[in-house]
Amino acid sequence: MSRNKQLLSQHKQLPEPQENDLLKIFSQSPIGTSTWNWILTRPRSEKNQIFLPLSTTSDWTTDYEPLFLLKVSPGKSWDLESSLNVACKAGVFITKVGSIAVAPIYVLFQLSRNDYIYQVWINHYRGNMLPSPLDKLEKMPYLTLLLMEDKSQPERLIKIENQIDWLSLKVKVESLASWSWDAFNAVKSLGYSGQELWDRTTETQARETTIAKLNDRFRNGDKSLGEYRMSREVLALPRKKQKELFKEIQDFSDFTPENDPNGQHEMGRVMMDGVEYVWKIDYLDTSMIMLSDAPEDINRTTRVLLVIREDEC
């Protein structure tokens, strides 16, 4: 297919032109601005509404999808390559606003042949007015980007494969109590650039990967990284059964966002002879008195693997 036909095909996928105050405002925002909103993706007879009404209806899950709007310079939408490469990252920004812990999600997009890293903030706790987009995003095979220029309608639609682990992000967010819109906006106002968040995501992922690899190595028998400890009930097992139990722990690989939200492979549950056992890795400093603040650094951390029977918890 020629480039012109590809672009024409993309243009035909755009929502039917409609007047919308939010789109007008967004079209007047600075280049590099980005946001998301619920957008009607299935045609309806009404011509005056593109975004989800404040009073949500039962069909929002089928007719509306969370789409991302990116502001580009005039003419840039069509100047970009027809087969556009889009890099995407997402993370949870956990911080405190006063005494309140807040964990908004940030999503980052970087378009080839474009200088901006677009950042979009998502507030999971939106109150009763609108649903959270995370449940919908988790089930979508593609993410849809709408490129906006200086008109009040999108110039180009781009779909990219949805490779974000939304469930893992949601688990991290829901580990905290809900917060207010003011607290959410206070985090956004901290003014982190897209590049800072991009680098932060890379560093966080690298750190968690390092910790997980060290924990797997330790769990599989490298006692140079720490020591193993057993509860009274586990110590009472025959030596042969203890070896069987530790073989089950070494073979454990069923890590999920529910039982391993940090991705560090630091805890799990195994069954032996109909009895459930829990294992957990703690991080102490080299004196084994205080907790370690750098579990990714083997020179500053002594690991302790504790194994107990489930009914001892």
Same domain assignment for residues 18 and 109: yes
Quick: pLDDT tens for 134-183. 988 999 999 999 999 988 888 888 999 999 999 989 988 988 889 999 99
Mean pLDDT of the chain: 83
Alpha helices in 194-313 (DSSP H): 194-219, 232-235, 239-251
State the pLDDT at residue 287.
92
Same domain assignment for residues 144 and 183: yes
Same domain assignment for residues 130 and 178: yes
Residues with Cβ within 8 Å of residue 69, at least 6 apart in sequence: 26, 34, 35, 36, 37, 145, 146, 148, 154
pTM score? 0.65
DSSP character at residue 51: B
Report the b/e string of 156-171 with b at 16+ CB within 10 A: bbbebebebebebbbb
- Asked whether residue 32 is domain-assigned, the answer is yes
- Asked whether residue 110 is domain-assigned, the answer is yes
Tell me the three state secondary structure of residue 118: strand
Query: How big is the CA angle at 302 (ends 244 and 209), to the nearest 5 degrees?
Result: 80
Same domain assignment for residues 84 and 195: yes
- Asked whether residue 236 is domain-assigned, the answer is yes
Same domain assignment for residues 39 and 81: yes
Tell me the residue range of the domain where 53 lies. Answer: 3-201
- Asked whether residue 257 is domain-assigned, the answer is yes
Same domain assignment for residues 132 and 219: no
Q: How far apart are CA 218 and CA 201, in angstroms?
A: 26
Same domain assignment for residues 129 and 237: no
State the pLDDT at residue 263.
87
Q: How many domains does the chain have?
A: 2
Same domain assignment for residues 225 and 196: no
Q: How far apart are CA 270 and CA 276, in angstroms?
A: 6
Quick: pLDDT tens for 90-109. 999 888 888 888 899 999 99
State the pLDDT at residue 14.
45
Q: Which residues of the chain have pLDDT under 50?
A: 1-19, 47-61
- Asked whether residue 48 is domain-assigned, the answer is yes
